Structure 1
Amino acid sequence: MNILLTSLQVPGAASGVRVHYERLAALLRAQGHHVTVVTQDDLRPWVRRAIGVGRRVVGLLGSLGRRVGLELGQALEIYCAIDRQQPYDVVNAQDVSSGWAARLALRDQVPVVVTGHYNDHPGTEVVQQLALPPRGWAARFEVRWYNFLLRRTRFFLGISEYALRLTQPFLPADAQTAIAHNGVDMAAFAPGAAGAPSAETDLRALFPGRPIILNIGQLEARKNQQYLVAVAAELRHRHPSCVTVLVGKGEDEAMLRDLIAAQGLENDVVLLGYHTQVAALLHAADVYVHTALRENCPYVVIEAIASGCPALALVAGGSPELLAATPEASLPQSTPPAALAAQLADLLADPATRHDLQQRQYAYARTRFDRAAMVQGTLAFYRQATGLAPALPPPLAVKRPASQPV
């Protein structure tokens, strides 16, 4: 197949969306498909400048004008970057804006599959990220803009059951949908597969003889690492030798350093910085704890399971789907830090229970969240969209874990 992938996340962006489409493109090419990736980086410089001028002019109208200019400008950039002469079989847009731009650019002659990577309704997500006044004109525009785009989405691919449930009410009645969870190379993450760790990622050498709690992600409010600092403060009294390692960079770094210092946790919580090779970190950890408050289908939880590291996660979005075999590992967001600290102390003190948790998680994830399953499900929906295969049966209703809020 001749496949076009579009995204508003440019190469090098610190984004799970970028990681997803780069992995997907490589896997599709390995199977013999021709894949073109288009982002705003593919735009001719003079076109980018012209769109920028238009955006600034519209921005003179105030906050509403700035949001209108940005949203329309992003869609226009993708529209102008697409080569209309290419005989594409299918487009897979990694967001609804570039999906709409592709439909317009290719005049609806090529089916456009939109993959839902967002953690909330995409308009609401923008409002929250930018802290826009919810009743202001800019916030109202964002929600209505994304409702407009979703109503024009004919093929929707969710990376979690959560994403499909969230999106379904906004899609047209005749939209076709499917689910293809994020997937990783299970074999590549297996202990020993990645070779010896570097000095920077050898946690056992950095913290000899100490149990290690690990968290990986952008240091930001949504990822909620300050909650894990509070857990570490409680854990210090229950398991004094334990160390909590936070991997990542971001806007909350200074706040987290101040919080760690204020509670005297310099020996208990370590900010390790940003690292791309996470397998070695996960191999060395005793437990991975995911504290994000809003999520879709977090790659890092799957990577932890593939690495043989038992995982716990606050209930958010599609996280409970990844831990469905171990409902005790999905924790309500209202869980007090002391309660999680007690659970972690029990796990650290009982290697057999920890191993059983890891084994059940891995057995459930091994075929469901492997990259082969992701590619197979994605290609099946591409073929459905292009008419090369019969329609897939609608996704089965999935019973939510007891800890997941309704």
Structure 2
Amino acid sequence: MPLPSAPLSPRVLHISQPVDGGVAQVVAELARAQAAAGLDVHVACPDEGLLPRALRGAGGGVHHHSWPASRSPGTGLRAEARALGRVIDAVRPTLVHAHSAKAGLAARLVLRGRVPTVFQPHAWSFEAVGGATALLARRWERHAARWAARIVCVSEAERDTGRRAGVEGTFTVVPNGVDVDRFRPGAPHEARERLLPAPFVRAPLVVCVGRLCRQKGQDVLLRAWPSVTERVPGARLVLVGDGPDATRLRAAADPSVVFAGAAPDAADWYRAADVVVLPSRWEGMALAPLEAMACARPVVVTDVDGARESLPGDGRAHALVPPEDPAALARALAALLRDQALRDALGRRGRRHVLDHHDARHAAAAIGVVYRELLGAAPTNAANAAKAAEYRECTTP
């Protein structure tokens, strides 16, 4: 594969599969921020989903390249890798940033370190599977780490999980961030009137935002929910999202549960909630609790990677429960639903915490530092021609 000639500002190629959910949102926001900062930004991903829609709405500042790829590895991997190779040859990136397991697999197989490569797992692949498949995934991550110039983890816990699994490399922790202007406090009653049927507008309301899949643990939440409604009569639960477990979850739900489907913007759902819950089985650092706290809503989350780091220290006692523990989840939700003063206090603390520690602009700036460390200080406008030769030298392996 030919090496890229260095442009006067870095040409970054983000590669992503999935194209929905938190990973897609992180990639879209990062790409937009980098384009606004003067980088030449390209994104390779499938044509359908939240991510390509967000890129089409970015006003031309980010270049989208079609990369047909399924979410999971399979028999089509070889063809997907060839297709990605063609995108890389066309873009000629200075740096490649691969997001999540599938993109990290394909990108590192194609490049094998020939272009500086950042791999961001967004939760490790071996946590999503079990048995022999998990063993193979761990072996792959150990082997492929040599082809990543930097591994970016969204929490210290995610980094430590990788190291315990034997993944060796140069790690940088960049906590997830959210758009604190888009996710901001609002009037709960007005949000409910826009979103909910009349019987739900005044009911005690719990909202869960996330892909309907095993990772996010909505099945555990549905097992906990009858105990919540026993303690808090009239309580309602809304599941916002879609995914492979939708049919099974609907069959397990009682009439007090509403399935709202996927939402292009979940901000109003957070504002409508009395409590936001995410009972995940694994994460790197989930976005939904950060978004909810940015909207000044209290959260209940499972104590998986990134959860403790995403919460203000004085709110953890009320927010954290063990994973896969319906009884503990029910107790935490009921306690918050019955205590408005505590909910309001936790919401205020959460908003301050996100403003201080999880603003998306801070995350984009931290990723920029990683790029500069890998590439050297690159000029950001064409007039600075004196720096161009030095930059080319920095980017030539």
> Greater shift after overlay, 71-80 or 296-305?
71-80
Within 2, Cα distance between the matches of 1:190 and 1:286? Answer: 15
Q: Which one of the candidate residues 94, 97, 101 is aligned to 1:89?
A: 94
After TM superposition, list the pairs within 5 Å mapping 1:3-402 onto structure 2.
3-9=11-17, 13-39=19-45, 69-83=75-89, 86=92, 88-95=93-100, 96-101=104-109, 103-104=111-112, 108=114, 110-118=115-123, 120=124, 122-123=125-126, 125=128, 127-128=129-130, 134-135=131-132, 141-168=136-163, 170-172=166-168, 175-192=169-186, 202-203=195-196, 205=198, 207-260=200-253, 265-266=254-255, 268-325=256-313, 326-328=315-317, 329-333=319-323, 335-337=325-327, 339-388=328-377
CA offset at residue 35 of structure 1?
0.5
Task: Assess if the C-alpha contact under 8 Å between 2:238 and 2:257 holds in 1.
Answer: yes
8 A contact 2:297–2:350 mirrored in 1: no
Q: Deviations over 1:304-348 (max 9, x none)?
A: 0111111110111212211142221111125442x4333323322
* C-alpha spacing 1:155/1:278, structure 2 compared with 1 (3 Å): same
Cα displacement (A) at 1:44: 8.7
CA contact (8 A) 2:321 2:332 kept: no
- With over 3 angstroms needed to count, the CA separation of the structure-2 counterparts of 1:246 and 1:227, relative to structure 1, is same
Residue-by-residue CA offset, 1:267-317 (whole Å, 9 max, x unaligned): x22112221211011101000011111111111111101111111101112
280-289 or 380-389: bigger deviation: 380-389
1:85 Cα shift? Answer: 6.7
SS in 2 for 1:219: coil
Q: What is the rounded CA distance, in whole Å, between the counterparts of 1:21 and 1:113 in structure 2?
A: 13
Contact 2:176 2:285 in 1 (8 A): yes
Give me the whole-angstrom Cα distance separating, in 1, the residues matched to 2:173 and 2:82.
Answer: 28
1:74–1:97 CA contact under 8 A, matched in 2: no
Question: Matched residue of 2:260: which SS?
Answer: strand
SS at match of 2:229: helix
Q: Distance in 1 between matches of 2:147 and 2:289?
A: 32
Question: TM-score normalized by structure 2?
Answer: 0.77
Structure number with greater CO (CA < 8 Å, separation at least 6) is 2
Distance 1:98 1:279 in 2: 33
**May I ask how many residue pairs the two structures share in their alignment?**
347
- Percentage identity across aligned positions? 26
Assess if the C-alpha contact under 8 Å between 2:16 and 2:43 holds in 1: no
Partners of 1:124 and 1:323 lie apart in 2 by 22
Q: What's the offset of the Cα at 1:156?
A: 1.2
Report the CA distance between 1:355 and its aligned residue.
Answer: 1.3
Query: What root-mean-square deviation, in Å, do the aligned CA atoms of Structure 1 and Structure 2 show?
Result: 3.2
Name the CA distance, whole Å, in 1 between partners of 2:15 and 2:270: 29
Relative to structure 2, which stretch is displaced further, 158-167 or 74-83? Answer: 74-83
